[in-house]
Amino acid sequence: MTEAVFAGSAEGASPEEAGLRYEVDGEIATITLDRPDKRNAQTFATWSALARIGDSLPQQVRVVVVRGEGPSFSAGIDLRMFTPEGVPGQGSFASSATLGDSAFEQRIAQAQRGFLWLRRPDIVSIAAVQGHAIGAGFQLALACDLRVLADDAKLCMKEPALGLVPDLTGTKPLVDIVGLPRALEICLTARIVGAEEAARLGLAELVVAPDDLAGAVRDLAAALLAVNRDAATATKRLLQGAVGRTLEEQTAAERHEQVARVKALFAGS
Ligand code: ACO
């Protein structure tokens, strides 16, 4: 049965301002950016709502799909943030600039919370990306573990071209995936990376025709769900830690996880 839950936003913004749809169907949660008329532009309310979804994710959920309604995954931060008026009830960059440094950093940390939980070891997150994924849109796709792209996908780290840095958790996965020189080139030129190049760079696990996007994501989710849950969680934890560990440390981590797995599977049998 599909349980439709509308994720309300934090900080007093209305659910409509959050612009999200959230559905849980058994072990799969689907988050849809749902302001297609504004190309799913994101606001602080969007990020607060994302964080709240992460906080209250039902225990049975193992796969989280993040998708966008309409022609674009997301055109990034709502451009009203750059105007003096800002986004109603959520301020603007001009109003944020009047905050003290630590209060402003705290506000960014709150926004980042909406993205960080998508990497939790107990879930696998999949971004389903069609059309534009610009700025915060690209970073939301990068916050997910896996990316399935429609062949019309266009990724762009626009922030530097607007005088900003990418600060929604996207810089680390970008460097981890494509390496420092390519990440520099992509960010500092703010150019569009098409789906075919994205696949070549490792930014997409799969590229499909736009009409096949939903089906491809469903198939991937089904394949992920076919694996033992605890083994999947332990393996993701192991893989996530691998980059920061020496071979010696990583093999010790493998031993540690395997002892727990074998005991869970065979102790007492
Ligand atoms: N914020 C607010 N509204 C937006 C945004 C945005 N980021 N992007 C698009 N919209 C609105 C447009 O203003 C337009 O609204 P209207 O119909 O009321 O005039 C509607 O969405 C459709 O936009 P179009 O430009 O007509 O759509 P199109 O499909 O031709 O182009 C594209 C899509 C390429 C994404 C274009 O809208 C665009 O360049 N948007 C801005 C991208 C951007 O610079 N984002 C900020 C990145 S930096 C960051 O995220 C931190």
Q: Is 162 in the pocket of ligand 1 (CB under 6 A)?
A: yes
Q: Residue 74: count other Cβ atoms within 10 Å of its Cβ.
A: 31
Minimum mean pLDDT among 9-18, 20-29, 38-47: which range? Answer: 9-18
Tell how far the Cα of 75 is from the centroid of ligand 1, in angstroms: 5
How would residue 4 be classed by pLDDT, with cut points 50, 70 and 90?
A: very low
Taking a C-beta distance cutoff of 8 angstroms, is the pair 204, 147 a contact? yes
How far apart, in whole angstroms, are the C-alpha atoms of residue 260 and residue 161?
48
CB 150, CB 131: distance < 8 Å:
yes
Query: Whose Cα sits closest to atom 10 in ligand 1?
Result: 38
What is the CATH number assigned to the segment(s) 2-226? Answer: 3.90.226.10
Ligand 1 within 6 A of CB of 35: no
91 Cα: distance to centroid of ligand 1 (angstroms):
19
pLDDT > 70: what percent of the chain? Answer: 93
Q: What is residue 245's DSSP assignment?
A: S
The C-alpha atoms of residue 24 and residue 248 are separated, in whole angstroms, by 40
Give yes or no for a contact between 141 and 201, defined as CB atoms under 8 angstroms apart. Answer: no
Judge contact between 59 and 81, C-beta under 8 A: no
pLDDT the model gives residue 11: 59
For the stretch 67-102, pLDDT in tens is: 999 999 999 999 999 999 999 988 899 999 999 999
Q: What is the pLDDT of residue 268?
A: 72
pLDDT 10s digits, 148-203 = 999 999 999 999 999 999 999 999 999 999 999 999 999 999 999 999 999 999 99
Place of tokens 């906080």: 55
Cβ–Cβ under 8 Å, residues 132 and 73 = yes
Q: Is 81 in the pocket of ligand 1 (CB under 6 A)?
A: no
For the Cβ of 136 lying below 6 angstroms from any atom of ligand 1, the answer is yes
Query: How far does the centroid of ligand 1 lie from the alpha carbon of residue 155, in Å?
Result: 14
Q: How many CB atoms lie within 10 A of CB 245?
A: 13
Domain ranges for the chain? 2-226, 230-266
**How far, in Å, CA of 176 to CA of 16, rounded?**
35
- Tell me what ipTM this predicted complex has: 0.99
Does the beta carbon of 72 lie inside 6 Å of ligand 1? Answer: yes
CA distance 176 to 178: 6
pLDDT one-digit tens code per residue, 198-253:
999 999 999 999 999 999 999 999 999 999 999 999 999 999 999 999 999 999 99
Does residue 53 line the site of ligand 1, with CB under 6 A? Answer: no
Neighbours of 170 (CB within 10 A): 24
Averaged pLDDT, 50-76: 97
- If pLDDT is split at 50, 70 and 90, which confidence band does 16 have? low
**CB of 237 closer than 6 angstroms to any ligand 1 atom:** no
- pLDDT > 80? residue 3: no
Substitution site in 33, 39, 159, 174 for ligand 1 pocket (most atoms within 8 Å of beta carbon): 39
Reported as a single tens digit per residue, the pLDDT across 111-130 is 999 999 999 999 999 999 99
Total Cβ atoms within 10 A of residue 202: 13
Of the pLDDT bands very low, low, confident and very high (cuts 50, 70, 90), residue 14 is very low
* pLDDT higher than threshold 70 for residue 262: yes
The answer, yes or no, to whether any atom of ligand 1 lies below 6 A from the CB of 77, is: yes
71 lines ligand 1 (CB under 6 A): yes
Minimum-distance ligand 1 atom for the alpha carbon of 168: 51
Answer whether 132 contacts ligand 1 (Cβ < 6 A). Answer: yes
Residue nearest atom 20 in ligand 1 by C-alpha distance: 38
Q: What is the CA(208)–ligand 1 centre distance, in A? A: 24
pLDDT at 15 over 60: no
Return the residue whose CA atom lies nearest to atom 46 of ligand 1. 76
Closest CA to 131 of 67, 186, 178: 67
**Residue 269 and residue 65: Cα distance in Å, rounded?**
37
